[in-house]
Amino acid sequence: MNAFQLNYLHAMGIQPWQSKQPAPSIIDTPLQENLTALRAAVARCTACTLHKTRTQTVFGTGNPQADLMLIGEAPGFYEDKKGEPFVGRAGQLLNAMLQAIGLDRHTVYIANILKCRPPNNRDPLPEEVSQCTGFLTKQIELIQPKLLLALGRIAGHYLLDTQTSLSQMRGKLHSYGSQATPLIVTYHPAYLLRNPRDKNKAFQDLQLAHRSLNLTITPSTRLE
């Protein structure tokens, strides 16, 4: 059994090891200033009714110069309290998923479609998505990841502008936006907590992400 498989088994219930390595200290100053300004704009946003029930906005976290950017659906209870995406049980599983491909939260960037928690963690409404996704579009534009990983059906629907099923979106290398950024869709960690039988399929998606990252960050190779 290889290291990737051993690491992924941690997601089956064993508390994953989390790297204490700090985020890179050398960050492009204009990039950081732009992200700081965008974070402030998100914090001030009252465009939809979700601002009335939020504790705080959840902008994003991680390395602003990351090759891999993960995009979820919306903040949950714990995220709303802490102001950071994926910090509850789903966050622990996401940590293990990242470790399975040799990464951690400090080496990737994590954001959500919505920056405010929907009441009772319901699905985002179309009007909420339309009001909020300009922030996400700008985040992607600033970070310029080499690969996007959509976590769950709703994130996949938005990024690919489709209503197809998750099973049809999985297992393929899609592209996003005018820059044709490679994009992979996989299960949301919260779904995997409820349906652990699909963890093996999620691991296959992670392996595809790992292979795709190696291809996209190596100038001498091309995606087939």
pLDDT of 17 higher than 80: no
Q: Is 119 exposed, middle or buried (0-12, 13-18, 19+ CB in 10 A)?
A: exposed
Residue 18 has pLDDT above 50, yes or no: no
pLDDT grade for 91, boundaries at 50, 70 and 90: very high
H/E run at residue 32: helix 29-44
Distance CA 154, CA 21 (A): 31
- Give the model's pLDDT for residue 212: 94
Position 224 scores a pLDDT of: 34
Give the homologous superfamily in CATH for domain 30-215.
Answer: Uracil-DNA glycosylase-like domain (3.40.470.10)
Q: pLDDT at residue 19 above 90? A: no
Residue pair 90/130 in contact by the 8 Å Cβ criterion? no
In this prediction the pTM is 0.84
What single-letter amino acid sits at 208?
A: L
pLDDT digits (tens, 9 = 90+) for 20-45: 333 334 457 789 899 999 999 999 99
Q: What is the pLDDT of residue 29?
A: 79
Which tokens in the block code for residue 21?
């390595």
